[in-house]
Structure 1
Amino acid sequence: MAGRIPQAFLDDLLDRVDIVEVIDRRVKLRKSGKNYTARCPFHEEKTPSFSVNPDKQFYYCFGCGAGGNALGFLMDYENLDFPRAVESLASSAGMEVPREPSSTPHDPEREQGNKALYALMEDVARYYRGQLRTHPQAQRAVAYLKGRGLTGQIAREFDLGFAPPGWDKLMKALGTGPEQVTLLKDSGMLVENEQGRLYDRFRDRVVFPIRDQRGRVVAFGGRVLGDDKPKYLNSPETSIFHKGRELYGLYQARQANRKLERLLVVEGYMDVIALAQHGISYATATLGTATSRTHLERIYRLCPEVVFCFDGDE
């Protein structure tokens, strides 16, 4: 069938399949610590040097350098071109491959821009994480988290951070050059007022990085520490973040449970984190929006059961 395969579908496909299962059906894998090993199918060897990482959904051979995701493995192992590998993987996952009209132009510039945004958001998360440890006023954030019963370990697991007070702390920390400022604006981390002045979106807040199912930081949520409104603030929609699509904590839930039997949908960031701390590692939350059809489709692709547990207020 003619037409380009949408990137969103490829992301969903790779989210749904487990690279360990894909490879193990073709090459017998053996558990070795957190990873799986085998003799490499791409070159002759006596000692296994082929490793599969279920957390990163990536394989790599230390002997010949072969590596990639589930699609790359199928292409190399079964000698398939990219579209046929997608069709094969989608078929095994019970998914039908959609196609964009052939007139839809391929936009390499946008794809490159998105790669830059993903890299930037990781830098932002790293900055906020460091501020929670080192900023003189971070003790207020630490006190808030401890007051909610959270431990340092769970804060690290969810990459919690602190956006310090001030209008341009993030911009100064990550660079004020024109390209960097453009990226910060495109990511929603900088806001421009009516006078054209730029300022940090998140200020004096506990910060929650929002990761997509592949573990990439796509947005942030922030909880105010003072009396400012709104109490919770989210990143705006961007080319890499769509509120009606993402679920907070889903990445962590998949990391903690290789095979999800159910997902618990709760209201907010703190609910997800508190439940994880108490051993309930399959909670997730919508991002200030009603549960959408896209949310439900994504959930039911991953597990057979969903439980909604919302607050009792109106």
Structure 2
Amino acid sequence: MGNRIPEEVVEQIRTSSDIVEVIGEYVQLRKQGRNYFGLCPFHGENSPSFSVSSDKQIFHCFGCGEGGNVFSFLMKMEGLAFTEAVQKLGERNGIAVAEYTSGQGQQEDISDDTVIMQQAHELLKKYYHHLLVNTEEGNEALSYLLNRGITKEMIEKFEIGYASPAWDAATKILQKRGLSLSSMEQAGLLIRSEKDGSH
């Protein structure tokens, strides 16, 4: 198998894979409201904080911060590379992943770096949304939005968030996931301080 797969093939495999069914093979899930919850497989816990969304086809743990889509779950769970996770899910859904060469197709290929960037964006989006709706720190901002006519349904639908005033909050979250700060800076997620070079 080649190490590059056209985006349209990756998307076909992703949309044909129900993340609830896939994760359900590894984690016992129970439906609560619109989402499914279970014990996080990535860290020890006694109270379920691992959430899986059937609507959005993503997972997120409010305990350790892990999150992503069906590919990133398999990558983390089984220690697979991105292309290996795509191949595994392709075989599961009867979609053949042939050897792709640079001369076949003009679609832009997805690299592992791109997937990591997407995961980082998703992680921070979930983190900021969690701060807004589930913490005392975000209460003032939440009240402000509600008073301005922004409904809770809209906040959930668009995953509106609240960025902590702590200058290093995002840095700590990304470091906890073992992500390269220089790469996150290039992605526009972090800004280096001109004063001391910190993020």
Return the letter of the residue paired with 1:9. Answer: V
Residue in 2 that maps onto 1:81: 81
User: Does the C-alpha gap of structure 1 residues 87 and 71 become closer, same or farther in structure 2, counting only changes over 3 Å?
Assistant: same
Return the letter of the residue paired with 1:48. Answer: P
The answer on whether the counterparts of 1:50 and 1:60 sit within 8 Å (CA) in structure 2 is: yes
Deviation at residue 3 of structure 1 after TM alignment? 4.9
Q: Distance in 2 between matches of 1:52 and 1:86?
A: 19
Residue in 2 that maps onto 1:58: 58
% same residue: 46
The answer on whether the counterparts of 1:9 and 1:98 sit within 8 Å (CA) in structure 2 is: no
Question: Scaled by the length of structure 1, what TM-score is found?
Answer: 0.33
Instruction: Identify which of structures 1 and 2 has the higher relative contact order when contacts are C-alpha pairs closer than 8 Å and 6+ apart.
Output: 2
Q: Distance in 1 between matches of 2:2 and 2:75?
A: 20
Deviation at residue 54 of structure 1 after TM alignment? 0.3
Q: Distance in 2 between matches of 1:107 and 1:68?
A: 19
The answer on whether the counterparts of 1:19 and 1:57 sit within 8 Å (CA) in structure 2 is: yes
Return the letter of the residue paired with 1:46. Answer: N
* Larger CA Rg, structure 1 vs 2: 1
Residue in 2 that maps onto 1:95: 95
Return the letter of the residue paired with 1:4. Answer: R
Deviation readout 1:182-205 (Å, 9 max, x if unpaired): xxxxxxxxxxxxxxxxxxxxxxxx
Deviation at residue 72 of structure 1 after TM alignment? 0.5
Residue in 2 that maps onto 1:16: 16
Deviation readout 1:198-248 (Å, 9 max, x if unpaired): xxxxxxxxxxxxxxxxxxxxxxxxxxxxxxxxxxxxxxxxxxxxxxxxxxx
- Note the 1:150-189 alignment, pairs <5 A: none
Q: Distance in 2 between matches of 1:82 and 1:97?
A: 13
Paired residues, what number? 110
Q: Distance in 2 between matches of 1:107 and 1:27?
A: 31
Question: Scaled by the length of structure 2, what TM-score is found?
Answer: 0.51
Please report the RMSD computed on the Cα atoms of aligned residues, expressed in angstroms.
2.3
Residue in 2 that maps onto 1:69: 69
The answer on whether the counterparts of 1:2 and 1:102 sit within 8 Å (CA) in structure 2 is: no
Q: Which 4+ runs in 1 deviate beyond 4 A? A: 103-108
Q: Distance in 1 between matches of 2:27 and 2:59?
A: 12
Residue in 2 that maps onto 1:39: 39
Q: Distance in 2 between matches of 1:36 and 1:107?
A: 32
Q: Distance in 2 between matches of 1:25 and 1:102?
A: 35
The answer on whether the counterparts of 2:3 and 2:83 sit within 8 Å (CA) in structure 1 is: no
Higher relative strand content:
1
The answer on whether the counterparts of 1:49 and 1:63 sit within 8 Å (CA) in structure 2 is: yes
Partner-residue secondary structure (3-state), 2:31: strand
Q: Runs of 5+ in structure 2 lacking a partner?
A: 119-199
